[in-house]
């Protein structure tokens, strides 16, 4: 799925149709942060993560709590179809609410990936020794 198609799907899934922002022509980027049901249901952790996002100079353009239908989850994770974790991931993402944040910042995509830290379980547990999103910068 091409990136622009994925963004269109996300806009439809999360109904980000009521926001209008005017960004300067400089290198402001938008990126999407999705907090899975385990984080979305833990308000203390969610507040801590949002505070960390703001400390890193991101602007939270839009915040929305949503519940994904199975079709949304399968479409979003289609690139992983056939992998050993796909079915569990799709089911997990539909088991409760998700918090979606639309973030803006110069170099938002690279900075968000850096803030999240490694996503590969092996790298997180063995090489780093901390969980994803553990304050890497």
Which residue would you say has higher pLDDT here, 24 or 67? 67
Task: Note the pLDDT of residue 131.
Answer: 45
Domain of 70: which CATH number?
Answer: 3.30.70.141
Task: Note the pLDDT of residue 27.
Answer: 67
At residue 7 the predicted structure's pLDDT band, cuts being 50, 70 and 90, is low
Identify whether 70 is part of a domain: yes
- Which pTM value belongs to this model? 0.69
Its domain, for residue 50, covers 3-14+25-128
Token pair recorded at residue 136: 């890497």
Coil vs helix vs strand at 34: strand
CA distance 73 to 82: 14
């Amino acid at each position: 799925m091409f990136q622009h198609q994925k963004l269109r799907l996300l806009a439809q899934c999360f109904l980000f149709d009521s926001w209008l922002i005017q960004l300067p022509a400089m290198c402001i980027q938008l990126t999407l942060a999705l907090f899975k049901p385990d984080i979305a249901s833990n308000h203390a952790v969610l507040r801590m993560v949002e505070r960390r996002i703001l400390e890193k100079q991101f602007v939270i353009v839009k915040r929305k709590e949503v519940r994904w239908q199975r079709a949304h989850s399968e479409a979003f994770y289609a690139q992983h179809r056939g992998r050993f974790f796909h079915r569990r991931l799709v089911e997990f993402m539909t088991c409760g609410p998700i918090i979606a944040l639309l973030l803006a910042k110069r170099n938002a995509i690279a900075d968000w990936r850096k803030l999240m830290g490694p996503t590969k379980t092996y790298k997180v547990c063995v090489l780093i020794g901390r969980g994803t999103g553990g304050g890497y910068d």
